[in-house]
Structure 1
Amino acid sequence: AYPDIDAAVYSSVAQVDQPLLGMLSERMPLVIEIGASTPVPLEIRYDRARLGSDRLAGVVGAYSRVGRGRELLVVDAGTAITIERITSEGVHLGGNISPGLYTRTKALNHFTSRLPLLSDLEDLTLGFGQTTREAISRGVLQGIVYEIDGYIQALRAAHPDAVVYLTGGDATLIQETLRQEVCVDPDLVLYGLNEILEYNK
C-alpha cells in the first residue's frame, strides 16, 4: 500500500504487538526499536536503561531542530512533567520528573478526604481562588507554571539565548500562562523518532 516506505521506527513502554512488528519486518529492510543501545546523534549522560524512549525522542527532536551552539531545555507536559537539559555541545545532562496537571488534581482527591476530583481545570487564571474548585485549578496550574518558569529563569540567567521547547498534551494550556518565551511543538517526540531513524540508516 505504501511502496515508498522502506524503514520504520517504533517506541513503546507497553508490550509490542508482535504480529504488527512481524509484518513491518517482512516488508521493510530497516525496523528500529528505540531502546537503551539505539544510537542517537548526541551524548546521553542519563542512565540509558532507565531513560524512557519518549523522553529520548523529545531530546533528540529538540537538539535536531536547534543543533550545536545553543543551550536547550525540553519540557514535556503530560501525565508527568519531564524537564530535560541539553548543552550547546550536544550533551544531554539529564532530566527531572514531576507530576503533571491531572496527576496533581488526582493526588489531591486521593490523599485528602474532602477535596473533589477535577477532570479538567475549571479556572485558568492566575491568582487566588474564591472556591475550593478554583483554588485547586489555580493552585495546580500556578504550581506547574512557577516550576517551569523557575527552570527557564535559572538556565537563561547563565545562558540568555537558551532555547526552550514545550511539548506534550498540556503544552498549549501551560504555554498560555508561562511568563517565559518557549517554542511549543506538539510533534517534537515524533520528529525526534524520525531523526533517530534517519541517523540509523
Structure 2
Amino acid sequence: MKKLICFDLDNTLIYSDKCHILAYNYALKQEKLAVPSKKFLVSLFGMPHYKLIELIAPDLDSEDIEKLTRLHDNILVRKTYKYSKAVAGTVKTLDTLKKDYNLAILSNSSHRNIILLLKGAKIDKNLFKIIIGNDDVKRSKPYPDEIFKAEHLFHTKADFMIGDSIYDMLAGKRANVKTIGVLTGHYPRMLLKKQGADYIIKSVNKLPQLLKEVNNK
C-alpha cells in the first residue's frame, strides 16, 4: 500500500498571494471597508479565512464576516485565480512522488477555490488522489480535521503534513503526523521550528531527496 503525504496549497505548491490580495481588496472596497497594507495582509495568510477577516475588519459581526468571505471567493473565482503560479519544480516533484505515495491537498481555501487555483497555476488536479478544502470539514487548520479525513478516506495513517505556515505544523502535530515546513511562504524557519516542524526544506522541489534520506535511516 502506498504511503500518504498531505500538502498545503497556498505558498507550498503555488504562489497565490496576488490572487488573494486582489480578491480581498475588491471585496473590502465593495463593502466600503478600509483596505489593509499588503504587508499586514500577507502576514495573516495561512490562518482560517474567518479569523483573517476578524483581524482586518474587527468591527464586523459573524454575518458580515461570512458575506465578506463569499465576496472574496466569488472575486477569486471570476477574476483573480488566473494569477496563481506553481512554485518552481512543483509539477516535476509531484510526478516523481505519485509513483510511491498517495498525494492529498489539505487547504484552508474552499474546495472550489483549490481547483481553480490549481488550474491557474497549470497543475493537474489529477496528480492528487484527494482534495480537501475548508468546506469539506467542520474545522480547518490548525485543527487536524482535514488530516483525519484524508486518513479515513485512505484507510491509512498519513506519513507527513507539508506546508509553509505554523497552522500546517500545528495541524500535523495535533494529528500525530510528522511535519515538513517549506520556506516559500511568509513564515521564517525559526517560527516553523518553534511550532513543531520535524524537518524544514527550502521548497517542495527538495522533498524527494529529504524523503529518500528519511526512509534510509
The structure richer in strand per residue is 1
Mark the structure with the bigger radius of gyration: 1
TM-score (normalizing by structure 2): 0.30
Provide the TM-score with structure 1 as the length reference.
Answer: 0.32
Structure (1/2) with the larger helix percentage: 2
